[in-house]
Each structure stands twice: as C-alpha cells, then as structure tokens.
Amino acid sequence: MHRSHRLTIRVTYSETDGQRRVHHANYLNYFERGRVELLRSLGQSYKTFEDEGLMLVVSEMNVRYFQPAEFDDLLELETAVESARGARIRHSYRITRGEELIVTAQSTIACVGSDGRVKRLPASLQAG
C-alpha cells in the first residue's frame, strides 16, 4: 500500500505575518493536518486512536524553506510515510504552489500511551 496523501490548503490571512507571508510556525500546523488526513485516508481516525489511549507525538521536525507562501495562495501538501516500525513513524512533507517548491520537511513521530510511556505502533500502522 502506498502511504501518501495530498491536501490542498488555501492560506488564510490569520496564518500570515505583517508582510502577508505565511509565518514559519504555521507550516507545522499544515504538517499536522497532513498527518491526520493521511491517517484518515488509510481508514483510521486519529480521534479513535486517542480514544483507545494512544497518541502520536512529534519527537523531531526538520524544515527547509525555499520560497515564501502568501495570503490567499493555493498550496498543495504531500505527506508521505517513509517508515513505520516499533514506536516510530517517519514522514516527509512537500509543499508546492503550482510547480514552485515552497517547503520540504521530515518528522519523527513517536507513539505513546496516555501515561506518556512509549508504545509500539498498532499493526495497522506498521510498514509491512
């Protein structure tokens, strides 16, 4: 199963700074939206995941900015699972505006229980 998802994002005014450019921290919110929608596309609800006592928390995030995105831009976010085993998922992200590369990123997400202790990923999320 190919584990990637595309999400279209329209930049809102509240996501921009005084120059109408997306504030760098808002890209982290976009990446989280991408992860949640990727899970949904795989038939899993993050809400149900949490209801079962598990959480996915960011343990590492690396972001590289190429061009600014601005208010009212239409962006495309591709989120992909690079690996998923043990208690970790590694994702890659790519945000474009048309053919123009805006941002790339990689993250490591850890699975933890409601007690904060590391837990193995459910079999349905393990790369196989």
115 catalytic? Reply is no
- For residue 37, the Cα-to-chain-centroid distance in whole angstroms is 8
Task: Considering the candidates 17, 51, 72, 115, report the single residue annotated as catalytic.
Answer: 17
Contact 64, 31 (CB under 8 A): no
Contact 91, 79 (CB under 8 A): yes
- Alpha helix segments (H runs only) across the chain: 26-41, 46-51
Spatial CB neighbours of 97, under 8 Å, sequence gap ≥ 6: 67, 69, 73, 74, 75, 76
Active site residues: 17
